[in-house]
Chains A and B, each alone.
Chain A
Amino acid sequence: MVTPESLAVDIRGLNFAYPDGYMALRGVDLSIKQGERVAIVGPNGAGKSTLMLHFNGILKGEGTVRVGDLEVAGPNLKRVRAMVGMVFQNPDDQLFSPTVFEDVAYGPIYMGLSEAEVRQRVTLALQRINMEGYAFRVSHHLSLGEKKRIAIATVLAMDPHILALDEPSADLDPRSRRMLIQLLAGFPQTMVISTHDLRLVKELCPRTVILDEGCIVADGPTSILLADEVLLHAHGLERV
């Protein structure tokens, strides 16, 4: 029996239209349990990123989105954002400070932590991604793989319950990708990964949701969905 309290994310009847009228999400229902790792897959333009941006209220559609025991709306937004660590697809968007330290410290400082706590959080976050020596490097000049990991550190420093990662492995070389997968596999948080990388899904996520044209067209165990060639093909994916 799943009680609402044990759900990390609960989305009911979510519709979202962009200002130009394009319906990006149509009636999405999605529940994610605490500690679950869920992959959201689907073709380009299916609404994956749009859906992810609803987890912390950056976008607001019709319908309800709950994170933990909080509704994602108005006065709760700041607390929701402390709970959901959102890692954007392009780390250049996420890394907006001159140095790695300042970037990782942004979240904790904004949350009002003391300086000692901020420093501790930054150190811990960088340790978690095995990049302790990078604190005073210039974010701008890191390699893409390094930037991706720093982007993850910027949210780990906020100690979120849920990690929402948009295309974490896109454009990474095999070694950086492998490091990232190992890193993510070691995290205890509830995880939602939007991706095209189905091999990563197989390794990391026991559950897969297929999104197409703004609707959830399949939701089930990864081992079954990713073996269904007809289903994958119908939604712009390939069996791996």
Chain B
Amino acid sequence: MHINPFDSYRAGDSLLHRLDPRVKFSFTLAFILTISLTPAGAWPAYVLLLAFVLSASVASELGLTFVLRRAVLALPFVLAALPILLTASGQPILSIALGGWSLSVTASGLERFLSIAIKSWLSVQMAVLLTATTSLPDMLVAMRALCIPRLLVAILSLMWRYLFVLADEAMRMMRAREARSASRQGRSGGSLTWRAHVTGGMAGILFLRGYERSERIYNAMLARGFDGSIRSLPLKPLSTAERLILILVLIVLLAFLLLGRMLG
């Protein structure tokens, strides 16, 4: 009776699943970095980067539609880039009259907007692939290996651990509320304000319990010798093959980047 709404990991045994998380994490970072440094309008470079994502997608054996569907998450971010359409200077290709205002879309604005849309869509696809093929504990190991501050990694790991506990608790509370949400003749009472009040109370109680739980967890950590610093066992070194793959992929991405900058 547990819910698992936050786990984006999909178990599998593909090439990508088996790849060391540190290598995958570096790929993703390098890929996103490459994309952000590729100038607007370098279309051939985008096609290469798309091919890269698609190959990774195929290697993950998750199915192309799975990654594409999850990448829809990028859409809201694209909206933020919408004003560029109208604010970039250049030759107007389309004018819209809005009352007394006249908005014009320029060619360079359109180019930049499309570039941003494609870039964010590609980046999100890569991130989706990483999170779907790497379990969170593995991801934390990778973060540690890449020298992300340990405190941050520890916070992420605690968050991950207790998010589920909290979600379970919220679910059980809602279930208990549902069990008492009865009616005598098929119609229920209680005003909307009262119901909102109850829900607000539940949220507050959940917060209080989360707060108290954090104190208990901290005490349990202290009881086992926690002194404020986070220690962990050393990681095993990457194998030669993994090193080779890492270097190879980084070189490919660098080539894409150079190509993109030459074109842009």
- Which residues in B have their C-beta under 8 angstroms from that of A53? 175
- Mark contacts of B181-204 with chain A using CB atoms, 8 A cut-off: 1 yes-contact digit, 0 otherwise: 111111111100010001001101
Is the CB–CB distance between A86 and B179 below 8 Å?
yes
A212 to chain B, nearest CB (A): 18
Once bound together, how far apart are the Cα atoms of A83 and B180, in whole Å?
10
| Interface size, A (range) | 35 or more
- Tell me whether A111 is interfacial, beta carbon within 8 Å: yes
Is the CB–CB distance between B176 and A93 below 8 Å?
yes
- Tell me whether B81 is interfacial, beta carbon within 8 Å: no
Is the CB–CB distance between A102 and B182 below 8 Å?
no
- Tell me whether A106 is interfacial, beta carbon within 8 Å: yes
Is the CB–CB distance between B180 and A155 below 8 Å?
yes
- Tell me whether B233 is interfacial, beta carbon within 8 Å: no
- Which residues in B have their C-beta under 8 angstroms from that of A48? none
Partner of A81, one of B173, B180, B198: B180
Closest Cβ neighbor of B183 among chain A residues: A78
Chain B contact residues, majority secondary structure: helix
- Tell me whether B48 is interfacial, beta carbon within 8 Å: no
- Tell me whether B209 is interfacial, beta carbon within 8 Å: yes
- Which residues in A have their C-beta under 8 angstroms from that of B183? 78-79, 82, 110-112
Is the CB–CB distance between A81 and B181 below 8 Å?
yes
- Which residues in A have their C-beta under 8 angstroms from that of B188? 78, 110-112
Residues from 32 to 88 in A contacting B, C-beta threshold 8 Å: 49-50, 53, 56, 58, 75, 78-84, 86, 88
Once bound together, how far apart are the Cα atoms of A30 and B183, in whole Å?
26
Once bound together, how far apart are the Cα atoms of A93 and B177, in whole Å?
9
Partner of A18, one of B1, B169, B205: B1
Is the CB–CB distance between A110 and B201 below 8 Å?
no
Is the CB–CB distance between B201 and A112 below 8 Å?
no
Once bound together, how far apart are the Cα atoms of A88 and B187, in whole Å?
25
Once bound together, how far apart are the Cα atoms of A228 and B190, in whole Å?
50
The answer to whether residues A107 and B172 also contact, given A112-B189, A140-B205 and a CB cut-off of 8 A, is no
Is the CB–CB distance between A158 and B169 below 8 Å?
no
B42 to chain A, nearest CB (A): 45
- Which residues in A have their C-beta under 8 angstroms from that of B198? 96-97, 102, 106
- Which residues in A have their C-beta under 8 angstroms from that of B180? 81, 86, 106-107, 110, 154-155, 158
Once bound together, how far apart are the Cα atoms of A90 and B181, in whole Å?
18
Is the CB–CB distance between B201 and A58 below 8 Å?
no
- Tell me whether B208 is interfacial, beta carbon within 8 Å: yes
Partner of B172, one of A93, A110, A140: A93
Once bound together, how far apart are the Cα atoms of A84 and B178, in whole Å?
12
The answer to whether residues A112 and B172 also contact, given A97-B198, A154-B180 and a CB cut-off of 8 A, is no
What 8 pairs across the A-B complex have the smallest Cβ distances?
A112-B189, A82-B182, A81-B182, A93-B172, A78-B183, A107-B180, A86-B179, A94-B176
**A contact residues vs B (CB 8 Å cutoff):** 18, 49-50, 53, 56, 58, 75, 78-84, 86, 88, 90, 92-94, 96-98, 102, 106-107, 109-113, 140, 154-155, 158
Q: A78-B182, A78-B186 are in contact. List 15 more A-B contacts (CB 8 A).
A: A53-B175, A78-B181, A79-B186, A81-B178, A81-B181, A82-B183, A86-B180, A88-B172, A88-B175, A90-B172, A92-B169, A97-B202, A106-B177, A107-B182, A112-B187
